[in-house]
Amino acid sequence: MTEVIIVRDEDEAGGIYARCVGDLIARRPDCVLGLATGSSPLAAYRALAALVRERGLDVSRVRGFALDEYVGLDPGHPQSYRSTIDRTVVRPLGLDPALVHVPDGDPAGVRDAGRRYDEAIGRAGGVDVQILGVGTDGHIGFNEPGSSLGSGTRLKTLAERTRIDNARFFDGDVDRVPTHCITQGIGTILRARHLVLLAFGEGKAEAVAESVEGGVSSFCPASALQLHPHATVIVDEAAASRLRNRDYYRYAYAHKPAWQGI
Ligand code: F6R
């Protein structure tokens, strides 16, 4: 079963993620983190950066792979996912930038970039913990509805809904949001050893309910989490509001032995 944890707010969710990843770094200083951009993981990255400082963790060998990148946006553009990951993860945590990878969104190499990226993840030994957000249409990474559940990293066309949702990062101008991206596939994401999906706010309630309690379908890419042996979904009350089984999720988490972690 996908574990669902209902929290008060993003900070509580961030603390849960930070403890999980902090323990992983302490156990395995060269672990591999799967990284997402967008709003959902920001509190989690802040909590992890604080915990790294507090516990004096050595992060010099931690490796990272981002989920996706816009195609045709200069890597130095403030909204490129390369820049976003540098700003929100690499610098606050003090990671070695050479060990943190983002798919190559250069249109010239895009035909081959996906295969090369999946090979690089494979050579690193796979992702240990993959953090995920979910789109209002149920996308994970930039796998829009209809994406193959077995897909590898590849070029995708962004849905109009996603471009509208992301216009807020481009001064509200949807025409400036690129039309294409390169994204880890659903098959790639499912190979990570632990998936942690974060979702907050009423706007995500339907996508969360579809993903966790709906049928597994390429029309809701996040429903692929149901196929994963170790998936954790952390949501606030608003995002949990359409889950039919939410009393059970609360009960199960309240009675979970602390040693199990997430
Ligand atoms: C970002 C990504 C996307 C976002 C999703 C939710 O790398 O892959 O799937 O996680 O669009 O975005 P936010 O968190 O901004 O609501």
- Give the mean model confidence (pLDDT) for residues 209-238: 98
Could you confirm whether 144 is annotated as catalytic?
yes
Q: Which of 17, 37, 88 to mutate to test the pocket of ligand 1 (most atoms within 8 A of CB)?
A: 37
Q: What pLDDT does residue 206 have?
A: 98
Q: What pLDDT does residue 87 have?
A: 98
pLDDT at residue 115 is higher than 80? yes
| Sheet architecture: strand order including 231-236 | 3-7, 231-236, 194-199, 129-132, 32-35, 63-66, 100-101
Of 3.40.50.720, 3.30.930.10, 3.40.50.1360, 3.10.20.600, the CATH number of 9-198 is 3.40.50.1360
Residues 103 and 114 sit within 8 Å (Cβ to Cβ): yes
CB of 177 within 6 A of ligand 1: the answer is no
What is d(CA 140, CA 73) in angstroms, rounded to the nearest whole number? 20
Phi, psi values for residue 60, rounded to 5°: -65, -20
Q: What pLDDT does residue 1 have?
A: 72
The answer for residues whose C-beta is within 8 angstroms of residue 38's C-beta and 6 or more apart is 133
Q: What pLDDT does residue 180 have?
A: 97
Phi, psi values for residue 27, rounded to 5°: -75, -40
- Give the mean model confidence (pLDDT) for residues 195-209: 98
What is d(CA 148, CA 218) in angstroms, rounded to the nearest whole number? 6
What is d(CA 141, CA 148) in angstroms, rounded to the nearest whole number? 13
The answer for residues whose C-beta is within 8 angstroms of residue 11's C-beta and 6 or more apart is 43, 47
Could you confirm whether 77 is annotated as catalytic?
no
Atom of ligand 1 nearest to the CA of 38: 15
